[in-house]
Structure 1
Amino acid sequence: MNWTSAQLRSLSELDRRGTITAVAAALGYTPGGVSQQIAALERATGRKLLRRVGRRVELTEAGRALARHAERMLAVEAEAVAAVERTRTEVTGVLRVALFATAAAEILPPALRRAREAHPGLEVRSRDMEVDDVYDAVASGAVDLALGLDYPDVPIPRDPALRIRPLHTERFALAAPPGTFPARVAAAGGHAPAAEGGAEALALDLGRTGPLSWILPPPDTYYGRAVRTACRRAGVEPSVRHEVTDTAATLALVEAGVGISTVTDLMLRLRPSQVDVHPLREPLERHIVMIYRTTAETHPTLTSLIPLLQPSPAPPSATLS
């Protein structure tokens, strides 16, 4: 039968996601484009693959049968492409990467510089996405590799078809308007005061934040849930006055004195800010991870970029209190 990978991917994603709108968002198509792919696949098979039920569509028995095999066919195709690519003496081709703002600013640029030197035939195309969407972008085949975030308390989904590889671990601290905790004074630009017991002795308990206003992402995000979980474990319910997902905007609000938030070294490097940064006693961490399909892990374009995706070493922090 004369069908294409794009048609099979559209059907597979429709089986996985349930709506044409969701498939379009995952694959970067318009809803009309997805419908056209499915219609072309119906012509190729000579069978109805979808039926309309009220205002939605669902797969027919033939559609479900083909969808079950589509993922395996796409995996075999990916393995074949990788095998052909490995016969080349130099790395060439296109690698599609999805990443979130911090990774786009701090991790990808040096990796691309190193890639140009080591593999001039490799073309990397990147997409800046909401961090919670990058996992689905890899799962759907919209991108080949993604940089994402994984939180121990709120882990991203695990799928045998996807590989999640840790890249870097960051521990969160607390960003507060200058002087919020006057007993632990250290404004940005100063040095951490000496104290018996070192940084651990200076660490702040989340329980002390109870009366303060917070600036956090919404509770339906992985980051938002992870911080709320840590606060509740410390016996405090964060009073979130501003729901913000953008790191630079969050730091600007903290600097303006309207609330506190959690930060990491990479986040602080996005926007130099006049805030106090306090180590936290609670082990609140995030893992920057690489996500890619297991069928692509031997593909030369992927294996050539992975070793280059290391965050630049953070300069010695002068903001910790």
Structure 2
Amino acid sequence: MLDVRKLRLLRELAHRGTIAAVAEALNYTPSAVSQQLTALERETGAALLERTGRRVTLTPAARGLVARTEELLAVLQRATAELATATTELTGTLRIGVFPSAVPAILTPAIVALSSEHPGLDLMVTELDPASVPDALRGERLDIALVQEYDYVPVLADPGLETEPLLRETVHLAARGAEPLVAHRDSAWIAGTPGTLCHALTLRACEAAGFTPRIRHHADDFGAVLALVAAGQGVAFVPDLGTAGAPEGVVLTPLPIRRRTHLAYRRGTGGHPAVAAARTALRAAVDHRGEV
């Protein structure tokens, strides 16, 4: 019988690429991860890793085993969810991941509703960039989270996660005037930290308009971005949720660019009572926002 814990390490190696990254994510030492993967090779009787110096790559047999592992983990998650439905009151910890601009309009009313309807549920919120969410969900540091993608920055499906549409927003050009995007080919730009989806959007949307943006400032909080725009420090892309309280003098020009937000959770956990309650509360918060 194969050890699920060892299979999970192999799955994480497939996603993260290095043994060091797996060790850091799951609180192992690199040597412990290597030992567990070597033991898994003995158990399977198949070569799973190709080692070249300090680098390792997965063999075709390992990639097939990873695909089966995703299916197995989803079955185990569904079994756990089914057992949890037998309880009459929701208890335990529910860990929710959210990006900053969703906190006031979506997360806050959702957790107020969850706390009121399920007082036995211990809610823990983590603010993080959506690019970090898949790793956090697979590593079981989160139970449900908001993920997003922009036009020009599509996100590949993760076989270990399930997603469902939640919100669709318009992206605006924030500037001191109402000029079109192409008029800012020589302007200074304000973008997110490199590696974030917002940074990638700035690069790709400008390139699609025929120029490479000259990024002067990096800021991940849209309030800070708008303050910099108001101060004449550059222009930026800002989605609907980030435009609240825009300072005087900032002109928001709607663009044919959309940001799409999805709910994400591990495969098989959508029916868990706590995750299902969070899905309901987050959807209700979005629906209420649309009615205001």
**TM-score range normalised by the length of the shorter chain:** 0.7 to 0.9
- The equivalent residue for 1:193 is none
Deviation at 1:77, TM superposition (A): 1.4
Q: Does 1:292 find its partner at 2:288?
A: no
Tell me which amino acid in the other structure corresponds to 1:134: V
CA–CA separation in structure 2 for the residues paired with 1:98 and 1:35: 30
Match of 2:274 among 298, 301, 312: 301
Q: Does structure 2 retain, via aligned residues, the 8 Å contact 1:214–1:259?
A: yes
Match of 2:190 among 207, 210, 215: 215
SS at 1:95's partner residue? strand
Q: Does 1:313 find its partner at 2:289?
A: yes
Deviation at 1:42, TM superposition (A): 5.9
SS at 1:111's partner residue? helix
Residues 37, 222 of structure 1: CA spacing in aligned structure 2 closer, same or farther, 3 A cutoff?
same
Residues 274, 53 of structure 1: CA spacing in aligned structure 2 closer, same or farther, 3 A cutoff?
same
Q: Does 1:29 find its partner at 2:17?
A: no
Q: Which runs of 5+ in 1 are unaligned?
A: 185-203, 317-321
CA–CA separation in structure 2 for the residues paired with 1:174 and 1:60: 46
Q: Does 1:89 find its partner at 2:85?
A: no
CA–CA separation in structure 2 for the residues paired with 1:275 and 1:314: 26
Q: Which runs of 5+ in 2 are unaligned?
A: none
- The equivalent residue for 1:146 is 145
SS at 1:109's partner residue? helix
Q: Does 1:9 find its partner at 2:8?
A: yes
TM-score by length of 1: 0.74
Q: Does structure 2 retain, via aligned residues, the 8 Å contact 1:217–1:224?
A: yes
Match of 1:246 among 221, 241, 260: 221
Residues 276, 249 of structure 1: CA spacing in aligned structure 2 closer, same or farther, 3 A cutoff?
closer
- The equivalent residue for 2:239 is 264
Q: Does structure 2 retain, via aligned residues, the 8 Å contact 1:152–1:286?
A: yes
- The equivalent residue for 1:165 is 164
Match of 2:256 among 283, 291, 309: 283
CA–CA separation in structure 2 for the residues paired with 1:117 and 1:97: 17
Residues 268, 231 of structure 1: CA spacing in aligned structure 2 closer, same or farther, 3 A cutoff?
same
CA–CA separation in structure 1 for the residues paired with 2:56 and 2:28: 13
Structure-to-structure mapping, 1:33-182, within 5 angstroms: 35-36=31-32, 39=35, 47=43, 53-57=52-56, 67=66, 69-176=68-175, 180-181=176-177
SS at 1:250's partner residue? helix
Tell me which amino acid in the other structure corresponds to 2:214: S
Q: 1:217-268: per-residue Cα shift (whole Å, max 9, x none)?
A: 2565432333333334444443322233333332232232211112234213
Q: Does structure 2 retain, via aligned residues, the 8 Å contact 1:10–1:38?
A: no
Q: 1:111-166: per-residue Cα shift (whole Å, max 9, x none)?
A: 11100111222223232222211133234444221112111322111234432222
SS at 1:313's partner residue? helix
Q: Does structure 2 retain, via aligned residues, the 8 Å contact 1:6–1:37?
A: no
Identity %: 35
Deviation at 1:40, TM superposition (A): 5.5
CA–CA separation in structure 1 for the residues paired with 2:174 and 2:267: 38
Larger CA deviation: 118-127 vs 283-292: 118-127
Residues 90, 239 of structure 1: CA spacing in aligned structure 2 closer, same or farther, 3 A cutoff?
same
Tell me which amino acid in the other structure corresponds to 1:21: A
CA–CA separation in structure 2 for the residues paired with 1:6 and 1:17: 16
Structure having the higher strand fraction is 2
Q: Does structure 2 retain, via aligned residues, the 8 Å contact 1:216–1:244?
A: yes
Residues 245, 71 of structure 1: CA spacing in aligned structure 2 closer, same or farther, 3 A cutoff?
same
SS at 1:169's partner residue? strand
Residues 279, 16 of structure 1: CA spacing in aligned structure 2 closer, same or farther, 3 A cutoff?
closer
Q: Does structure 2 retain, via aligned residues, the 8 Å contact 1:266–1:314?
A: no
Deviation at 1:100, TM superposition (A): 1.8
Q: Does structure 2 retain, via aligned residues, the 8 Å contact 1:92–1:122?
A: yes
Deviation at 1:62, TM superposition (A): 8.8
CA–CA separation in structure 2 for the residues paired with 1:128 and 1:258: 27
